[in-house]
Chain A
Amino acid sequence: MSARLASLELGLIAAIGFAAVTSVCLALAWPWLRARLAGVHPALRARLVWLAAIAPGALPALLVALCFVPGLLAAAGLGHDHCTHHPGHAHLCLKHASIPLTRAGMGLLALAAALLAAAIVPEVVSLVRTRRWLARLPRRAMRHADDVEVVESETPFAFAAGLLRPRTHVAARLLESLPAPQLAAVVEHERAHARRRDPLARLAARVLSRAHLPWVRRALLSELAVATEEACDAEAGRRVGDRLAVAEAILAVERLFAAVPAPAGLTGFGGNSVAERVRALLAVEPQAPPRQGYRIAAALACALGVAGIDPLHHLTEHLLALAARLL
């Protein structure tokens, strides 16, 4: 097996280790984190919960990529090649030979590949089916709002759909049934979903959260759904200048749905987030996070990542060597 392939396999094993550590840490921290997030603005809450949801999938990939940076810099002549100074242990380097993999290591890799396929395939199927369903919807542009599509349907739905350029869809039934202020609230809510690219964020969260413990994943995705809806409610309230109109629209749409005969097996009374959303709209809106705050946090994370490359690289190599001896 070539040194390059062996190094990549070591990287995958390191990623599994990082994912396991992240998953366990977040499982332990989630009750504490959830309590702290209760009074936070829903836009920030949604962002933090999303980061927690994707962490076991995204963080290992990022950390492993950082581990390979010293080797890549050395290969490009931009850094010092240290591999020859540490013979006899694993090297996360595409140039130098690494220790050979054991059967247990290969088994772990096969399991990781199977889990990855199990996470991605259902989402791809769902994506294709949703696109087909959307393509079949009979629709027209909304008057005075080119970004909104009116779907000729008696079911009183409104939704944003599309991954890269989400579009707002509103059923003709809603146009006929809701008074203007409530209709504006519905449209602004869905536009907020589209601006935030929530369908894409949701897809990423569903795929990358697979490495969480199942009950932690369920709790995170549920919290993410509520926080996202509340964030869009808050934005719709700001744009129409009336948070109560948003609450009234939610209840009016819920009433319209209640009038449609619901199929057995699909109805879960009291199981949706309507009550939480309306109560949030009746309460005073928490202070919105400053936009500058996101940039500062991102800059700090980048600085921390750059500063931590070398220690992370060496620590990971030593841990891999230890794991190889144990396996």
Chain B
Amino acid sequence: MRRHMLGRLEVAVLDHLWSSGLAEVRAVHAAVGAARGISPNTVHSALERLVRKGLAERRKAGRAYQYRARLSREEWMAHGLERLASEVPGTPADTLIAAFVDMTERAGETQLAELERRVRARRRRARKERG
């Protein structure tokens, strides 16, 4: 999947497409744009940007276009790490945020299992000593 940064309006439009399935500009504007006080043209531009980014597709229905999301919400969420890593400039660990665990580098399964075993053993020992 290509990496793109999404604006707030694009996220809201995408969210609406996930809920509605297939929607015309007028419907998306009624659901997302009217409350924001923006014009149907602005919503149309956001939909076109999503199409260009490969996140939505359109098809002709009479005189208007209908839009729908190309990825399900679950597929989009599954790419959370990639999206996060691509939207934060550089490697997150090296930028201006201090993360609890490094967001882009993982400990190996063997190492993780060994560490979990040691922590569990220590926890058991601590409980025994207390009680």
Contact = CB atoms under 8 A, between A and B. Distances in A.
Contact of A159 (B5, B77, B97): B97
B95 A282 contact: no
B103 A257 contact: yes
A159 B100 contact: yes
Interface in A270-295: 270-275, 278-279, 282
Given A125-B89, A248-B119, A157 B98 contact: no
Contacts of A203: 96
A163 B84 CA distance: 20
B58 to A, nearest CB: 25
A157 B99 contact: yes
B80 to A, nearest CB: 4
A250 B101 contact: yes
Interface in A9-51: none
A269 B119 CA distance: 21
B88 A130 contact: yes
Contacts of A270: 107-108, 111
Interface stretch (A84-92, A97-105, A185-193, A305-313): A185-193
B103 A261 contact: no
B81 interface: yes
A154 B109 contact: no
Contact of B119 (A125, A251, A253, A268): A251
Contacts of A266: 81-82, 85, 104-105
A198 B111 CA distance: 28
A255 interface: yes
A130 B106 contact: no
Secondary structure call for the A interface: helix
Size bracket, chain A contacts: 35 or more
Contacts of B101: 250, 253-254, 257, 272, 274
23 contacts: A126-B90, A133-B87, A136-B8, A153-B80, A159-B99, A163-B96, A166-B98, A199-B97, A228-B98, A244-B119, A244-B122, A248-B119, A251-B116, A255-B112, A257-B81, A258-B109, A261-B79, A262-B81, A270-B111, A272-B101, A273-B102, A278-B115, A278-B118
Interface of B: 5-8, 11, 77-90, 92-109, 111-112, 115-116, 118-119, 122-123, 126
Interface of A: 125-127, 129-130, 133, 136, 138, 153-155, 157-161, 163, 166, 186, 189-190, 193, 198-199, 202-203, 206, 221, 225, 228, 232, 244, 247-251, 253-255, 257-258, 260-263, 266-275, 278-279, 282
